[in-house]
Amino acid sequence: MKKADPFVAPDSKREASARRGQEAPRIAVLGASAGGLQAIEQFMRSCDQLSDDVLASWALVIIQHLSPDHESVMDALLRRCCRMPIVYACSGAVLCGGTCYLIPAHADITWEDGCLNLHTRPGRTQPHHPIDRFSLSLHGATAASAAIIIASGTGSDGALGAYHLAQHQGQVWIQDPHEANFPQMPEAALAQVPQANIGPMPSIPGKLFAQESRADAGQSSSPGSCDEGLEPLDVLAHLLEREHRLHWNHYHAATLMRRLDQGRQTTSSR
């Protein structure tokens, strides 16, 4: 009797074949390591504020560094934060829009032939970069329409994946290193992709997913741009964030306008 593959869920290959003809969702990769749970929870809570229609065109793949010695409870933790369906990735699975996929503690994951594939993770003596491994497996139109979000963590995992997706015109979003519990991973990604979008985790889902929803409606056409299709104050807030690391996302419009007026008055009096 043939031994079952522990990485393949029952009927997953049959389901994959049945769904290959459907339009594939865009892929958003959220990578984190040490101190990343808080950032992931912030991201998911913000996703919960978005409509199902906005989220439906995206499949979220969360890759956090996990100990292989213990089963992950990430699904239970994240279900407290959002209504989005949360499942563990399995080989042969075709991504479904509006769904969050988690990496199992004992495996790495790649994207091959339009579906997920799980692999035995390397031994403890070898470098372990699961975020890079998955991101580097995205190519062509899949990479061009994808996005990667790098959150808190030590080391440099995700930096090569971010560079790879940027080279393919995909989007790169990075948690502000000053707000990350461990800034090394965000800093490493920023060193590889200096033009990346930077901000606090709660602000990223609305900018990424809602902006691309407007692009689908013909209101914005530039992949990777977070300015087009936004209100003028949103554009200004993003420029301040990107160029000067000043975060105005959570300020009311009236407060931002008042600060701008004060700045103009100070400049004109010189």
Residues 221 and 235 in one domain: no
Whether the predicted pLDDT of 212 surpasses 90: no
Give the structural domain span for 248: 231-270
| pLDDT tens per residue, range 46-90 | 999 999 999 999 999 999 998 877 778 899 999 999 999 999 999
**Domain assignment of residue 3, yes or no:** no
Stronger pLDDT, 72 or 264, i.e. the higher one: 72
pLDDT above 70 covers what percent of the chain?
69
Residues 72 and 150 in one domain: yes
Q: Which residue has the tokens 């009236």?
A: 254
Residues 244 and 223 in one domain: no
**Domain assignment of residue 2, yes or no:** no
**Domain assignment of residue 4, yes or no:** no
Domain boundary (195, 213, 228) is at 228
Residue type at position 137: S
Helix (H, G, I), strand (E, B) or coil at 268: helix
Rounded to whole angstroms, what are the CA distances from 233 to 89, 176, 219?
Answer: 39, 20, 17
- Rg of the Cα atoms in the chain: 19
Residues 139 and 169 in one domain: yes
Residues 62 and 126 in one domain: yes
Residues 190 and 259 in one domain: no
Residues 18 and 106 in one domain: yes
Which of 25, 8, 109 is closest to 60 using CA atoms? 25
Q: What pLDDT, on a 0 to 100 scale, did the predictor assign at position 121? A: 85
Which of the four pLDDT bands, split at 50, 70 and 90, describes residue 192? very high
Side-chain-facing half-sphere of 181: CA atoms under 13 Å: 12
| pLDDT tens per residue, range 112-162 | 989 999 998 887 767 889 999 999 999 999 999 999 999 999 999 999 999
Residues 137 and 199 in one domain: yes
End-to-end CA distance of the chain: 85
Q: What pLDDT, on a 0 to 100 scale, did the predictor assign at position 223? A: 40
Residues in the chain: 270
**Domain assignment of residue 53, yes or no:** yes
Residues 186 and 248 in one domain: no
* 270 vs 268: CA distance, rounded Å: 6
pLDDT above 90 covers what percent of the chain?
60
Residue 176 has which token pair?
A: 């502000």
Residues 139 and 93 in one domain: yes
Listed range (76-80, 173-177, 228-232) with the worst mean pLDDT: 228-232
The CA angle 214-215-217, to the nearest 5 degrees, is 65
Residues 139 and 19 in one domain: yes
**Domain assignment of residue 6, yes or no:** no
Q: What pLDDT, on a 0 to 100 scale, did the predictor assign at position 79? A: 94
**Domain assignment of residue 191, yes or no:** yes
Domain boundary (213, 228, 243) is at 228
Residue 154's domain is classified under what CATH number? 3.40.50.180
Q: What pLDDT, on a 0 to 100 scale, did the predictor assign at position 71? A: 78
> From the centroid of its chain, how far is CA 270?
44
Residues 131 and 237 in one domain: no
Q: How many domains does the chain have?
A: 2
Average pLDDT, the chain: 81
Which of 52, 61, 111 is closest to 83 using CA atoms? 52
